[in-house]
C-alpha cells in the first residue's frame, strides 16, 4: 500500500473540491457571515501564505484566543496545514494560567478576538515567546492596543496567496494541534494531537454508529473551539462537507435556539450545563427544533431528567458520549443496539444515561485492585484507554508518569461496564466517597437528586467523619421559585440506594462552583462545605 | 499520541467484546449455520492456535479456495491475526493461472471447500510450496483425496486453544491479505493489502456518506470473498457488529432473494450481472425485500435500466460505487448531495448512474495529454489515485512500473468528472475507440443500447477501419423471446450521440464472453467479431 500520510491539509482540499458550494455560517462580534468552503479554503491558503511571510517555521506553535467562528476554523486548517501547530487557549482560565500555557507552549504568534484583547494586553509583559499579535475583527480600523506588532486578520489575508499549497512534507505523527487541560491542582497540562490522531478521530466521528457526521448535516458546535477542538467536529464536518454554524462570542441560550430554528441545525454538541440552559429557553419560548437529529452531550454525565426532557418532551435524540482532553476526545458513544429497540421507556432512558460503547479503533480496560472488573454493570473500576488518538504524555510535564503507565492512559474516571459493553461514569477516582470501608459514587447520588423536578443542579462531596472515615453531603441548587427541604429530597432518593449511601446533610446553594469548561469544581465545593460546618459548629 | 498500530486483530476483539450476541448466518454445502461473534471469535482463536501448530510462520501465505461462508470469515481474521497473510484465490480462474498464483505467492497451506477439492487434486503435482491441505466440510468423514496431508477444518479446530491471543507484534504496514487480479494479457497480478490499508478502508465503509455499515445492518456479500475481500465488507461488518449472511457455494438468484426476505437483509453488494439475475427473479416471484436499505453495485458500470428498475420498481436504493483490486477496493460512492434532493426523476437517475465522489482519505487526478481535465462532466481522462489503501506495486511483478508511476496508481479507467466531483466511467483506456482522430466511449454506447427493453446485455468493441482507423461494432444479447433488428436498435440510440459515434454494425449473440468476475472480456469478443467478418468477407 502507498505510504501516504494521514494529514489535515487533505481534509480541507477534499472540502474545496467536493463540497465547494456548501457553507460555513459564522456569527462574529459585529456580523453574521456566510462563506462557502471554496471561500474558506482560499482564505485558509492565504493565511498559510501569511504565516510563512510572518516567519512562522514548521513545528512552531500558533496560539488562538477566540470564540467559535469562521476565522478560528481557518486557523484550524492553516496552522497544521503549513506544518505548524495550532494551540487553542482556553480564554476562561485565570490570567496566571494563560501566561503559563502561552510561555510553556512557546507560542510565536497569537490570534485574538477583539473582545479578548484586554485580557492579553494585561499580561503582555509576561509573555516570553510571542513575537506577533493578530486581532480578529470585522471593523476596518484596528483597535487601540499596547500589543505590538498588532495586525488585522482581514488586512493580512489580502496580502496572502490564494493558491498557497498545503505543506507536502508532513509526517502523520507530526504535532498538529495542542490544548491544555486544567488540572485540579497545579498548572494546566498540555496535550499534543498529531495529524494521524485528528484524521482517525474524524473517521470515528463519521461512522454511522457514532455521530454519523455527514454532508447532509448542519452542525453547530456549542462546545468551544478552545476546548479539545470543539470535540473534533470542525475537522470532521469540514472533511465530510457538512454545513457549519459557528455561534460566535458570548452566545446565549436564546441565540442557540434561534440558530437551530433559522439554520435548521441537525446536530449540535456541548456540555450538560449548556443543554440545561437551552432546555429552559425552549420551555419558555416556541422554537421549531424539528431539524435536530442529535444533541451530543459530553464533558460530564448528563442527569436523567435532562435526557428525558430532550428525548420525550422535545423529541430530540440525546446522544451521550464520553471523552477527555487526553483522548481527542471521542471514546464512547451511546446508541441503542438493534436488539434493544423494544426496551421499555424506562430501560431506554437507563441505557441513554450511560456513556455508551467504545468507538471502533480504541481499546479499553476497567480495573480495580483485584484486576479487570466483570462486565455486569455493577463492579466499579478505573477506565484505562489505548489507541491512536489517545495521548501518550503531557507536553513536557512530570505528571506524565502518573497518568500514562504500562502503555495505557489512566483516565482517573471510575466506571461500570454492563453486559453490552456500555460504560457508565460512576465518579472521578478522587471524588469517590469511602464510607465504612465501601465506595459510594457521588455521581449516582447527584443524578438521583437531579431527577427531582425542583432541582436545577446537585453536587455531592465527601466530608471527613470520625466514625465512617467519610460521609456524603449533598449541595443543591433549586429552580427559581421552587421551595423544598432536606427531608423531602432525601425521602425522594432513599428508595434507590442502600441506607448508608444517603447523604448526611443537604445544603442549598445559589450556585455551585464550576471549572472553566462547566464541570463541578468539587475541590472548591469541599472547601466551602468544610468552612460552613466549621462556622456552624 | 500513542503509537498503537492499526491491526486486523483489534477488529475481531471489538466484535467479541461489544457484539458478542450478534450473528453470522452461513450457508455451506450441507447446512445453514448460525454462529454468534462470541463463537466466531473463539473459533478464530482456535484456528490461529492450529496454524501455529502446523508450523505457519509470521509473514507466510495461507491460501483459500472457498465460497462465502463463516469458515472463510474465520480465516480472514485468523491468518492476519496471527501475523500471516491471507491469500484468497479466485476459484474461477483457469487451472494454469491457479497454479501460477499459488506458486507465485508461495502459499504454505491451502484451505479448500469440499466441492473445489477436485480442482486442486488435478493440479496438485505442480504446486511447489504447499505443505498442508485443509478441507472445509460439515461432514464427519474426510472426503477421499490424493491431497496429503489433508486435514478436516472442524477436527483441527478442536485441537486449538480457544484463548489464543491475536499476535501483538504487528507493524501496521505488515502484509495482511493478498489477492490476484486477472490481467487482460499474461499472468494474474498480485496485490498485497496491509493491516493499515484494511483498517482505514473499513472506516471508509462505515462512514455515514458511503456504505454507512452499522450494527443495525444485516449484510449479505454476494461479491465473492475471493474477489478483493468481498469489497472489504466482512472486515467492516465484523468490526461494526453487523449481522452477516454468507450465501455459500453456487448460490442462485432464488437463494439470494429468499435470504433477503428470510434474514431481513439491509445491505448487499455485487456486480451488475448479479443484480440483473436477481431482478429477473424478483419480477417472476413475490419476495418481501422491504428490509433492503442499499444495493451496492460495483465491478463495472451498471446500466441505467437496472438502476431504474431497482430504484423505481422495487423501491430499493441502488448505490453505485467504483474501485479495483488495486484499491482495496472502495474509491468512489454515489450519493446525492443534500442540495440535489429536488432533482427531477431523470436527473436523479443520471446522477445515480455516475460512480460518485471520492471517499474521504484518498486523492485523485484525471489527466489526458493536455494535463488535468476540467471538471465539467465532458472532458475525458485517465483516473489516477493516491492514498493509504491504494496499492503501491504488483507483488514481485515487472508490470508494476507501468501502472504505478510518479506516486500515483494509473487505473487504466477513462472517466469524466462533473462539477460536483462525481466521476463517470467512460471506458478502459484500452477499450476506447479512436475514430477519425476522436475518442468514442464504448461504455456510453453500451449503456444506451442496454436501456432498450429488449436488450439483456450489450458490449461495443472497435474494429480496424481503413478510412477512420477504428469503428464501433455493437454486440448484443436479447432477452428471451424478444426479437428486434439492427436498424431498430440504431434508430433507438441515434438521438443520443454524434453521428460518427453510432456503431457500423450490430451483431446478435447468445452470450457475451466474460471474465471470471463477470466483466465483459472484450479481448475475446474482439477476436470473435474479427473472425466473423473474416469469414463473412
| DSSP assignment string, A475-533 | EEEEPTT----HHHHHHHHGGGS-GGGS-SEEEE-S---B-TTS-B-HHHHHHHHHHHH
Peptide bond into A329 cis (omega under 30): yes
Q: Which of A328, A386, A388 sits opposite B6 (nearest CB)?
A: A388
Is position B515 annotated as part of the catalytic site? no
What is the secondary structure of A188-245 as a DSSP string? -EEEEEEHHHHHHHHHHHHBTTTT---TT-EEEE-S-TTSHHHHTHHHHHHHHT-EEE
Closest to A39 (Cα-Cα) out of A53, A56, A25, A54: A25
Is A6:A389 a contact under the CB 8 Å cutoff? no
3-state SS assignment for residue B371? strand
CA distance B308 to A338: 30
Would you name the residues of A annotated as active-site residues? 181, 326, 434, 439
SS3 annotation, A317-351: CEEEEEECHHHCCEEEECCCCHHHCCCCHHHHHHH
Q: Is the CB of B338 inside 8 Å of chain A's CB atoms?
A: yes
Q: Smallest CA–CA separation between B334 and chain A, in Å?
A: 12
Q: Supply the DSSP symbol for B327.
A: G
Chain B residue with minimal CA distance to A242? B338
A233: left (phi over 0), alpha (psi -120 to 50) or beta: alpha
Given this model, what pLDDT does residue B430 score? 82
pLDDT score, position A437: 74
Q: Which three cell numbers stand for residue B3?
A: 503509537
Which residues on chain B are in Cβ contact (under 8 Å) with A11? 360
Q: Has residue A516 got a pLDDT over 80?
A: no
Q: Is the dihedral of CA B20, B22, B25, B26 positive or negative?
A: negative
Query: What are the residues whose beta carbons fall under 8 Å from the beta carbon of B444, sequence distance 6 or more?
Result: B426, B427, B497, B501
* Chain A residues in contact with B357 (beta carbon < 8 A): 18
Low-confidence ranges of chain B (pLDDT < 70): 184-185, 517
- Beta carbons of B18 and A357 less than 8 Å apart: yes
**Prior bond of B149 cis (ω within 30°):** yes
- CB burial readout A189-226, b (16+ within 10 A) else e: bbbbbbbbbbbbbbbbbbbbbbbbbbbbbbbbbbbbbb
Buried b (16+ CB within 10 A) or exposed e, A5-43: bbbbbbbbbbbbbbbbebbbbbbbbeeebebbbebbbbb
Task: Read off the DSSP letter of residue B29.
Answer: S
Q: Tell me the C-alpha distance between B372 and B408, whole Å.
A: 14
pLDDT of residue A184: 65
CA torsion through residues B345, B351, B352, B357, sign: negative
User: Pick the catalytic residue: B154, B264, B311, B439?
Assistant: B439
CB atoms near residue A405 (< 10 Å)? 11
- Pairing mode, if any, of strands B330-333 and B318-323? antiparallel
The whole-angstrom distance between B516's CA and the closest CA on chain A is 25
Find cell 477506565 and name the residue.
A383
Q: Does B18 contact A at CB distance below 8 Å?
A: yes
Q: Is there a contact between B10 and A363 if contact means CB atoms under 8 Å apart?
A: yes
Chain A contact set for B207 (CB, 8 A): 203, 206-208, 240
3-state secondary structure of A161: coil
How big is chain A by its Cα radius of gyration, in Å? 23
Closest residue in A to B205 (Cα–Cα): A207
List strand residue ranges (DSSP E) for B343-502, in order: 357-358, 363-368, 371-372, 381-386, 404-405, 408-417, 423-428, 433-435, 438-440, 455-465, 469-478
Q: Does B6 touch chain A (CB under 8 A)?
A: yes
Instruction: Report pLDDT for B324.
Output: 95
Cα–Cα distances (Å) from A453 to A306, B73, B358, in that order, read: 10, 52, 50
Angle between helices B195-206 and B8-18 (to 10 degrees): 50
Q: Does B337 touch chain A (CB under 8 A)?
A: yes
> Residue A317: is its pLDDT beyond 90?
no
Cα(B275)–Cα(B253) distance, integer angstroms: 9
pLDDT at res. B184: 65
For residue A61, list its beta bridge partners.
A85, A107
Please give the Cα distance from A294 to A283 (Å, whole number).
18
Q: Which of B2, B206, B216, B391 to mutate to test the interface with A (most CBs of A within 10 A)?
A: B2
Which candidate from B11, B338, B357 shows the least CB-CB separation from A216? B338
- Residue of A2, A199, A338 best to disrupt the B interface, most CBs of B under 10 A: A2
Q: What is the C-alpha to C-alpha distance for residues B12 and A269, in angstroms, rounded to an integer?
A: 31
Of A13, A14, A386, the CB nearest to B2: A386
Cis link prior to A143 (omega < 30° from 0)? no
For residue A251, give the nearest of A420, A26, A96 by alpha carbon: A26
Average pLDDT over residues A287-296: 96
Compute how many other C-beta atoms are within 10 angstroms of the C-beta atom of residue A142: 14
Q: Is some CB atom of chain A closer than 8 A to the CB atom of B456?
A: no
pLDDT over threshold 70, residue A131? yes
CB within 8 Å of chain A, chain B residues 339-398: 339, 357-358, 360-361, 363, 386-392
Q: Which residue has the cell 486486523?
A: B8
Cα(B357)–Cα(B322) distance, integer angstroms? 9
A121: its cell numbers: 494586553
CA distance B340 to chain A (A): 11
* Res. A314 pLDDT band, cuts 50 70 90: confident
The alpha carbon of A502 is separated from its chain's Cα centroid by a whole number of angstroms, namely 31
Q: What is the mean pLDDT of residues A384-392?
A: 98
Whether B181 is catalytic: yes
Tell me the shortest Cα–Cα distance from B13 to chain A, in angstroms: 9
Contact partners, residue B42, CB within 8 Å, separation at least 6: B162
Cα–Cα distances (Å) from A379 to A322, A366, A371, A433, B355, in that order, read 19, 9, 11, 16, 51
Residues with Cβ < 8 Å from A306, sequence gap 6 or more?
Answer: A272, A275, A276, A279, A297, A318, A450
Q: Which residues pair with B319 in a beta bridge?
A: B296
Is the predicted pLDDT of residue A492 greater than 80, yes or no?
yes
Predicted confidence at residue A535, as pLDDT, reads 86
Q: Nearest Cα to B126, choosing from B153, B149, B99?
A: B99
Record: contact B1-A196, CB cut-off 8 A: yes
Residue in chain B nearest A408 by alpha carbon:
B2
User: Contacts of residue A363 in chain B, CB cutoff 8 Å?
Assistant: 4, 10, 13
Pick from B276, B182, B198, B263: which is nearest to B233 by CA?
A: B198
B386 and A4: CB-CB below 8 Å?
yes
CB contact under 8 A, B206 and A13: no
Question: Are A360 and B3 in contact (CB < 8 Å)?
Answer: no
CA B378 to chain centre: 27
Q: What is the pTM of this model?
A: 0.91
Per DSSP, A312 falls in state I
Nearest partner of B141 among B27, B24, B25, B30, judged by Cα:
B30
Task: Spell B331-346 as b/e; 16+ CB within 10 A means b.
Answer: bbbbbbbbeeeeeeee
Q: How many CB atoms lie within 10 A of CB B395?
A: 18
Verify whether the Cβ–Cβ distance A194 to B17 is below 8 Å.
no
CA distance A242 to chain B (A): 10
- Residue A174 at interface with chain B, using a CB cutoff of 8 Å: no
Phi, psi of B397 (to 5 degrees): -150, 130
- Is any Cβ of chain B less than 8 angstroms from the Cβ of A421? yes
**Mean pLDDT, all residues of chain A:** 94
Q: What is the pLDDT of residues A89-111, one digit of tens each?
A: 999 888 999 999 999 999 999 99
Range with the lowest mean pLDDT among A271-285, A384-398, B78-92?
A: A271-285
pLDDT, position B522: 87
Sign of CA dihedral B72, B73, B79, B82: negative
Q: Is A299 part of the contact surface with chain B (CB cutoff 8 Å)? A: no
DSSP A245-271: EE--TT--HHHHHHHHHHHT--EEEE-
Nearest residue of chain A to residue B365 (CA atoms): A17
Q: What is the nearest CA distance from A376 to chain B, expressed in angstroms? A: 13
**A2, A17, A387: residue with CB nearest B4:** A387
- Chain A residue with minimum CA distance to B239: A360
Q: Could you say which of A10, A338, A357 has the minimum Cβ distance to residue B363?
A: A10
Question: Given this model, what pLDDT does residue B31 score?
Answer: 97
**Where do the domains of chain B lie, and which CATH numbers do they carry?**
9-251 (3.40.50.12780), 359-428 (2.30.38.10), 433-536 (3.30.300.30)
**What number of C-beta contacts closer than 8 Å exist between A and B?**
153
CA-to-CA dists, residue A385 to A325, A343, A421, angstroms: 13, 30, 14
How many angstroms separate the CA atoms of A300 and A306, rounded? 13
Find which of A222-226, A297-301, B276-280 is predicted with most confidence, using mean pLDDT. A222-226
Residues ≥6 apart with Cβ < 8 Å to B186: B399
CB contact under 8 A, A240 and B209: yes
Give the separation between CA B416 and CA B425, rounded to whole angstroms: 7
- B439 carries an active-site annotation: yes
In the predicted structure, residue A180 carries a pLDDT above the cut 80: yes
Contacts with B503 (C-beta within 8 Å, 6 or more apart), sequence order: B445, B460, B471, B472, B473, B474, B490
- For B113, phi then psi, to 5°, come to -70, 150
Mean predicted confidence (pLDDT) in A281-296 = 95
Amino acid at each position: 500500500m502507498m505510504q501516504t500520510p494521514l494529514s489535515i491539509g487533505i481534509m480541507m482540499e477534499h472540502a474545496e473540491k467536493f463540497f465547494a458550494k456548501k457553507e460555513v455560517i459564522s456569527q462574529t462580534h459585529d456580523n453574521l457571515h456566510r462563506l462557502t468552503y471554496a471561500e474558506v479554503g482560499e482564505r485558509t491558503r492565504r493565511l498559510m501564505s501569511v504565516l510563512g511571510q510572518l516567519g512562522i517555521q514548521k513545528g512552531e506553535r500558533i496560539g488562538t484566543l477566540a470564540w467559535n467562528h469562521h476565522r478560528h476554523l481557518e486557523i484550524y486548517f492553516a496552522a497544521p496545514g503549513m506544518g505548524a501547530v495550532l494551540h487553542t487557549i482556553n480564554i476562561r482560565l485565570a490570567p496566571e494560567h494563560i501566561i503559563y500555557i502561552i510561555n510553556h507552549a512557546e507560542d510565536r504568534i497569537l490570534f485574538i478576538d477583539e473582545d479578548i484583547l484586554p485580557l492579553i494586553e494585561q499580561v503582555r509583559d509576561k509573555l516570553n515567546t510571542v513575537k506577533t499579535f493578530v486581532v480578529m475583527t470585522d471593523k476596518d480600523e484596528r483597535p487601540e492596543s499596547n500589543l505590538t506588532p498588532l495586525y488585522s486578520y482581514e488586512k493580512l489575508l489580502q496580502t496572502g496567496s490564494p493558491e498557497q499549497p498545503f505543506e507536502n512534507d508532513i509526517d502523520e505523527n507530526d504535532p498538529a494541534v495542542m490544548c491544555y487541560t486544567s488540572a485540579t491542582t497545579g498548572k494546566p497540562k498540555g496535550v499534543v494531537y498529531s495529524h494521524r490522531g485528528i484524521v482517525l478521530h474524524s473517521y470515528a466521528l463519521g461512522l454511522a454508529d457514532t455521530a454519523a457526521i455527514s454532508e447532509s448535516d448542519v452542525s453547530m458546535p456549542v462546545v468551544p473551539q478552545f476546548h479539545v477542538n470543539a470535540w473534533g467536529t470542525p475537522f470532521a464536518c469540514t472533511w465530510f462537507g457538512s454545513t457549519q454554524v459557528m455561534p460566535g462570542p458570548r452566545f446565549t441560550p436564546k441565540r442557540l435556539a434561534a440558530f437551530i430554528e433559522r439554520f435548521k441545525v441537525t446536530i449540535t454538541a456541548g456540555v450538560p450545563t449548556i443543554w440545561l440552559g437551552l432546555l429552559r429557553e425552549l420551555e419558555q419560548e416556541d422554537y421549531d427544533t424539528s431539524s435536530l437529529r442529535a444533541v451530543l452531550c459530553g464533558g460530564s454525565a448528563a442527569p436523567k431528567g435532562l435526557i428525558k426532557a430532550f428525548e420525550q418532551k422535545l423529541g430530540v435524540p440525546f446522544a451521550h458520549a464520553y471523552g477527555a482532553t487526553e483522548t481527542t476526545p471521542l471514546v464512547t458513544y451511546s446508541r441503542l443496539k438493534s436488539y434493544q429497540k423494544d426496551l421499555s421507556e424506562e430501560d431506554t432512558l437507563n441505557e441513554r444515561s450511560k456513556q455508551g460503547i467504545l468507538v471502533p479503533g480504541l481499546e479499553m480496560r476497567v480495573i480495580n485492585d483485584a484486576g479487570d472488573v466483570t462486565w455486569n454493570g455493577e463492579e466499579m473500576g478505573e477506565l484505562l484507554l489505548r489507541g491512536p488518538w489517545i495521548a501518550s504524555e503531557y507536553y513536557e510535564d512530570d505528571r506524565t508518569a502518573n497518568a500514562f503507565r504500562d502503555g495505557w492512559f489512566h483516565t482517573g474516571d471510575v466506571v461500570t461496564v454492563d453486559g453490552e459493553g456500555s460504560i457508565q461514569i460512576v465518579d472521578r477516582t478522587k471524588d469517590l466517597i469511602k464510607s465504612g470501608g465501601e465506595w459510594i459514587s457521588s455521581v449516582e447520588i447527584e443524578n438521583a437528586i437531579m431527577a427531582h423536578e425542583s432541582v436545577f443542579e446537585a453536587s455531592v462531596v465527601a466530608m471527613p467523619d470520625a466514625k465512617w472515615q467519610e460521609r456524603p453531603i449533598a449541595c443543591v441548587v433549586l429552580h427559581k421559585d421552587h421551595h423544598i427541604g432536606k427531608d423531602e429530597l432525601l425521602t425522594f432518593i432513599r428508595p434507590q440506594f442502600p441506607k448508608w449511601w444517603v447523604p448526611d446533610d443537604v445544603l442549598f446553594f445559589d450556585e455551585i462552583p464550576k471549572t472553566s469548561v462547566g464541570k463541578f469544581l468539587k475541590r472548591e465545593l469541599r472547601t466551602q462545605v468544610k468552612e460552613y460546618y466549621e462556622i456552624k459548629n
